[in-house]
Homo-oligomer: A and B are copies of this chain.
Amino acid sequence: MNSTYLGVDLGGTNLRCAVVDEENQVLSRVESPTHAHEGPEAVIDRLVAGMIKAASTAGLDLGEIRAAGIGYPGPLNQVTGTVYSAPNMPGWKNVPLADTIATKTGVTTFIENDANCAGWGEFVAGAGVGSGHMMMVTLGTGVGGAIIVDGKLHVGRDGSAGELGHVCIIDGGRQCGCGARGCVEAYASATAVVKRFTEYLDRGWVSQLAQRRETLTCQAIFEAALTGDAVAMKIVQETGHYLGIMASAVAELLNPEICVIAGGMMQAGDMLLESIRTTCLDRNDHPGRTMRIVPAKLGGNAGLIGAASHAKHSASPAHHGIRTVCGI
């Protein structure tokens, strides 16, 4: 029988666990609320319960799982297996997550940033299959991403590479939540999209969403764009432009074959992608002009498959897939 791995996507809202086989096929998948406000101990207990349930759903005991990978939504040290504080995880501060989970489950456990897990998932089993150099952009509450260089997840000197959202696209521009100005996240995150939309309304632009401005969501704006709302279409186009400026910077630096775009905003699909592509072409930038810009393929499974694959590669140093071997 093939080896099986557990992939965990630990989010501020939901906690998901999946059993994944050697060929990156998801054998089982369970989901529960994270209840992050209850703090690390309660969340870790829930995480262990999720791992057990995912295994049993796949007809396995935890003892039959070769290794587990956990995608964590914040900074961490892959080598020591410790996670630092994260904005959506109150009470987490220097938690030895890999060790704790390994002790409670008996499963060798590795940790990686959640955006890196999702990027790695798309690389090994999704839109990036067959490429050697890839960038992934994840659009959500923030703008995240991952960098694959020469078939390896690039984590950098201290594990914090791939922060695409904090690439500055306009020196002195909009204030970003990180404290700096002009980050692409300050233009293209879900929050920023809503803010930019309401600014158009303030300037007198007419939109079908004008009556809902107090409860406006990024999703509603992107849906309105698909029905032809002019302001919403303008916002989608501009969001694509800002992302295109960032993507072309990555292309100049790294010359990847493919740029994979993931996240809820991709419901606007071609409208957003075309705008990103147009900006890359307009920049007269050779690497950007020839980089393929495509939607992600795995949806919510990317992080689970990526975390499991990360565990597989980390547990088997003979594999060359992922660089940082870490954990217990």
Q: Which residues on A are within 8 Å of B, measured CB to CB?
A: 75, 132-133, 147, 149-150, 152, 154-164, 166-171, 173, 178-180, 182, 241-242, 245, 248-250, 252-257, 282-287, 290, 323
Q: How far is the CA of A167 from the CA of B167 in the complex (A)?
A: 10
Q: A252, B164: Cβ atoms under 8 Å?
A: yes
Interface of A is mostly: loop
Which residue on chain B has the smallest CB distance to residue A131? B157
- Known: A150-B152, A254-B147, A287-B163. Contact between A157 and B180, CB under 8 A? no
Q: List 27 A-B contacts (CB under 8 A).
A: A132-B157, A149-B150, A150-B154, A156-B287, A157-B287, A158-B287, A158-B290, A159-B255, A160-B255, A160-B286, A160-B287, A161-B252, A161-B254, A161-B255, A162-B253, A163-B253, A164-B252, A166-B252, A167-B252, A168-B245, A168-B248, A168-B249, A169-B169, A171-B173, A178-B285, A180-B282, A250-B253
Q: A157, B133: Cβ atoms under 8 Å?
A: yes
Q: Which residues of B contact A155 (CB under 8 A)?
A: 255
Contact of A249 among B132, B158, B249 (CB under 8 A): B249
Q: Which residues of B contact A169 (CB under 8 A)?
A: 168-169, 171
Q: B242, A163: Cβ atoms under 8 Å?
A: no
Q: Which residues of B contact A290 (CB under 8 A)?
A: 158
Q: How far is the CA of A291 from the CA of B163 in the complex (A)?
A: 15
Q: Which residues of B contact A248 (CB under 8 A)?
A: 168, 180
Q: Which residues of B contact A249 (CB under 8 A)?
A: 167-168, 249
Which residue on chain B has the smallest CB distance to residue A284? B179
Q: How far is the CA of A284 from the CA of B185 in the complex (A)?
A: 14
Q: How far is the CA of A154 from the CA of B135 in the complex (A)?
A: 14
Which residue on chain B has the smallest CB distance to residue A176? B284
Q: Tell me which of A160, A252, A286 has the highest count of chain B C-beta atoms within 10 A of its own C-beta.
A: A252
Q: B255, A157: Cβ atoms under 8 Å?
A: yes
The distance from the CB of A118 to the nearest CB of chain B, in whole angstroms, is 17
Q: Which residues of B contact A157 (CB under 8 A)?
A: 132-133, 255-257, 287
Which residue on chain B has the smallest CB distance to residue A257? B157
The distance from the CB of A262 to the nearest CB of chain B, in whole angstroms, is 17
Q: Which residues of B contact A285 (CB under 8 A)?
A: 166, 178, 180
